[in-house]
């Protein structure tokens, strides 16, 4: 059953994508005016909006929403954000966790993820990829506490299990290299090993030293590059556990590796510490400015929309709070998975109007506005 529905889905989606080929490629213009490296074009696009607007994104937006699933229901080109606000998001987020399998950790087939990325790119959107990978030694999920035989030091250069880790990196390299249209690579944001300043992942602060973490991160990027991966713009995204630039940079793998200076932050919203969020965004913007990097709110949200009218009273408020916070280039929320776990009001939800107000704010860019902006409108 699963095989049948997957192949039907793949056939339907590729027919759909072929159908899209005739459409204007909203990204081509930028690619041709930039340098040859696909990443330079993506960085230029991100920089072009800085100070003029803030791109908005969601995880798995084209894959499923509340009450629908593209793979299961054979629906294409749908997102809860478009159903509610009339446009897809500008940023499309995906995850490569469980790269050894056919489906990722959230049951999205990797072939579908590839098709969604191509589709998002053709529509003019920007794709970002995180990686909630299993522990390379135990194969336990990202959230399982490692012991000394499966901590980070084992599979960084000099460790005894680095080959095991490289096998996973090989698979990620194959996937990233396969993101192509007519033989040309699609540039994507790659955001591995996020939220390391908490201890909920096997790469978290209780399970590695700062130096081991940096080695993990650097090895990941340099190894992928050695396998021909030349289409990633690299994002660093600790959680909220910093109060100064020095603390923010404790895990930082280096200016030569990182392009996007980010932060994931859910719990300062839960605790209503909006002033602290503004302060942290300013730290990020200041560091990005100094080093010519791109500042972003790499993850945030209010689970189940528990904070009333979160989009206007919380997110928009912090993003537009000061001239510095307005320099943030994009903000993305997590997935609309089920009624117990969603981050964007769906059709009929009581905060729908609040989300529409947010989406229509002059500062916020969903895909339609981003495309108009690129066309100079």
What residues are paired with 296 via a beta bridge? Answer: 262, 330
Minimum Å gap between C-beta 275 and ligand BMA is 25
Min CB(130)–ligand BMA separation in Å: 7
Nearer to ligand BMA, 63 or 325 (CB): 63
CA distances from 57 to 125, 156, 227, 329, 336 (A): 9, 32, 29, 11, 12
| Minimum distance of ligand BMA from residue 45's CB (angstroms) | 25
Q: In sequence order, what E strands does 48-164 have? A: 54-59, 64-65, 68-69, 91-95, 126-131
For ligand BMA, which is the closer residue by CB, 219 or 335? 335
How close are the terminal C-alpha atoms of the chain, in Å?
48
Nearer to ligand BMA, 159 or 238 (CB): 238
Q: What is the CA radius of gyration of the chain?
A: 20
Of 91 and 294, CB closest to ligand BMA: 91
- From 69, 57, 7, select the one nearest 333 (Cα to Cα): 57
Burial of 198 (0-12, 13-18, 19+ CB in 10 A): middle
Residue 343: in which H helix or E strand, if any?
none
| Closest CB 59 distance from ligand BMA, rounded Å | 7
Measured from the CB atom, the residue of 105 and 356 that comes closer to ligand BMA is 105
> Measured from the CB atom, is 142 or 371 closer to ligand BMA?
142
Residue with the shortest CB distance to ligand BMA: 132
For residues 356 and 226, what is the distance between their CA atoms, to the nearest angstrom? 44
SS3 content of the chain, % helix, strand, coil (to 5): 40, 15, 45
CB of 106 to ligand BMA, least distance (A): 5
**Shortest Cβ distance from residue 4 to ligand BMA (Å)?**
25
- Contact residues toward ligand BMA (CB under 6 A) are 95, 105-106, 132, 334-335, 341
């Amino acid at each position: 059953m699963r095989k049948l529905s997957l192949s039907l889905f793949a056939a339907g989606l590729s027919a759909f994508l072929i159908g899209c080929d005739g459409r204007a490629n909203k990204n081509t213009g930028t690619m041709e005016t930039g340098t040859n490296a696909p990443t330079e074009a993506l960085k230029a696009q991100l920089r072009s909006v800085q100070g003029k607007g803030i791109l908005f994104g969601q995880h798995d937006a084209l894959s499923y929403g509340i009450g629908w699933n593209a793979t299961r229901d054979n629906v294409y080109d749908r997102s809860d954000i478009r159903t509610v606000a009339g446009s897809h998001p500008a940023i499309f987020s995906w995850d490569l966790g469980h790269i050894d399998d056919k489906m990722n950790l959230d049951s999205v087939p990797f072939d579908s993820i590839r098709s969604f990325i191509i589709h998002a790119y053709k529509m003019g959107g920007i794709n970002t990829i995180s990686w909630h990978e299993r522990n390379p030694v135990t194969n336990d999920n990202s959230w399982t506490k490692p012991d000394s035989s499966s901590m980070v030091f084992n599979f960084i250069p000099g460790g005894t299990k680095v080959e095991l880790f490289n096998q996973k990196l090989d698979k990620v390299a194959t996937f990233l290299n396969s993101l192509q249209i007519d033989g040309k690579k699609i540039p994507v944001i790659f955001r591995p090993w996020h939220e390391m300043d908490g201890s909920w992942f096997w790469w978290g602060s209780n399970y590695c030293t700062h130096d081991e973490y940096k080695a993990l991160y650097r090895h990941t990027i340099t190894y992928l590059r050695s396998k021909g991966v030349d289409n990633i713009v690299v994002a660093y995204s600790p959680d909220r556990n910093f109060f100064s630039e020095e603390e923010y940079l404790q895990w930082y793998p280096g200016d030569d590796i990182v392009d996007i200076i980010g932060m994931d932050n859910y719990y300062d919203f839960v605790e209503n510490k909006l002033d602290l969020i503004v302060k942290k965004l300013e730290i990020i913007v200041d560091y990005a400015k100094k080093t010519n990097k791109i500042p972003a709110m790499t993850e945030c949200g209010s689970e189940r929309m528990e904070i009333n009218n979160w989009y206007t009273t919380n997110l928009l408020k912090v993003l537009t709070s000061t001239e510095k916070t307005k320099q943030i280039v994009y903000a993305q929320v997590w997935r609309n998975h089920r009624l117990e776990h969603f981050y964007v009001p769906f059709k009929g939800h009581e905060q729908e109007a609040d989300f529409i107000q947010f989406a229509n704010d002059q500062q916020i860019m969903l895909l339609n506005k981003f495309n108009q902006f690129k066309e100079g409108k």
